Amino acid sequence: MFVVLFGLLALSCLPLSVLGVPEDRDARMYRVYIYLPPKEGRDETADILEIKTTVSGLTDIKVLFSFKELGNSLVILVLRVDKACSWPQLTSFLARKGYEVKVTPVYYCSDFARELGLNMTRDFYDTTLENDEDLLMGKQIFPVKGLSTTQYDDMLKEMFQKETSILNAGQRAACFRTLADVPVEMMHFTALNQKKVEALVENLNAPSHFDLDVIRIQKLDQYTGRCK
């Protein structure tokens, strides 16, 4: 389970000239899933609170977002690694605890939109989701389904154009794309405003567009483990 994680550790130790500058689309940003499978004697609340404390104290690793799935033992992090060889702070902790971990390189959806020829600044999407307690994460995978490159790109452009209208109307969301060619995978974190979210989900789940998985999440810094 740590093959990918330690592969990234090795990658992070390469010289900066090899890894690229921070503005590159592959400038060491990662989505990290941490699963806490049921285990006899495990105190899930204590484990999640320990993860919360550990990630908040990382040096040269910027925690862009940290969430827990509501109702499940899954912690979701989006990290930016600002300094090479800073991974051991996190990887040694996770290896010692024996959690199931999956790490995926990501970059900003706004950068991807510009690659498609759209005029979208990086600050178009939200970068903090401050003051929002009720949140959703939507993961979208765009199957190729026999489309030509032009048809595939046009489908993605159409999705971004519809999403631009929804966000301009006041819906707030953060968005990242996984660093892979095809199929394209993107994830949105968005505030739970019922009417506006319905419009966003309708766009994200439009026929012939892509597969959509939506879960409820909460910010990790709000997690106390107490019943509400």
Identify the CA nearest to 176 among candidates 83, 105, 103, 116. 105
Q: Could you tell me which CATH number the domain at 110-220 has?
A: 3.30.70.1150
| pLDDT tens sequence across 35-93 | 998 888 888 889 999 999 999 999 999 999 999 999 899 999 999 998 878 888 998 99
Per-residue model confidence (pLDDT) at position 101: 94
Q: How far apart are CA 19 and CA 179, in angstroms?
A: 14
Q: How far apart are CA 217 and CA 219, in angstroms?
A: 7
Per-residue model confidence (pLDDT) at position 196: 55
Measured CA distances, 132 to 13, 42, 150, 171, 219 (Å): 36, 30, 38, 12, 9
Q: Are 185 and 139 in contact (CB under 8 A)?
A: yes
Q: How far apart are CA 185 and CA 144, in angstroms?
A: 11
Instruction: Categorise residue 60: left if φ over 0, alpha if ψ from -120 to 50, beta otherwise.
Output: left
User: Has domain 3-107 been given CATH number 3.40.50.720?
Assistant: no
Cα–chain-centroid distance for residue 207? 24
Per-residue model confidence (pLDDT) at position 122: 80
Local structure of residue 183 (DSSP, 8 states): S
Tell me the DSSP string of 205-223. Answer: T-TTT-EEEEEEEEEGGG-
**SS3 state of residue 67:** strand
- What are the start and end residues of each CATH 3.30.70.250 domain in the chain? 3-107
Nearest 10 degrees: Cα torsion 191, 193, 199, 200: 0
Per-residue model confidence (pLDDT) at position 197: 57
Intervals of the chain under pLDDT 50: 1-24, 26
- b (16+ CB within 10 A) / e for 175-187: bbbbbeeeebbbb
**Single-letter amino acid code for the residue at 70:** L
In the chain, DSSP assigns E strands to 29-35, 61-69, 74-81, 100-108, 135-142, 173-178, 184-191, 211-219
Q: Which residue has the tokens 């810094």?
A: 221
- What are the start and end residues of each CATH 3.30.70.1150 domain in the chain? 110-220
Single pTM value for the model? 0.81
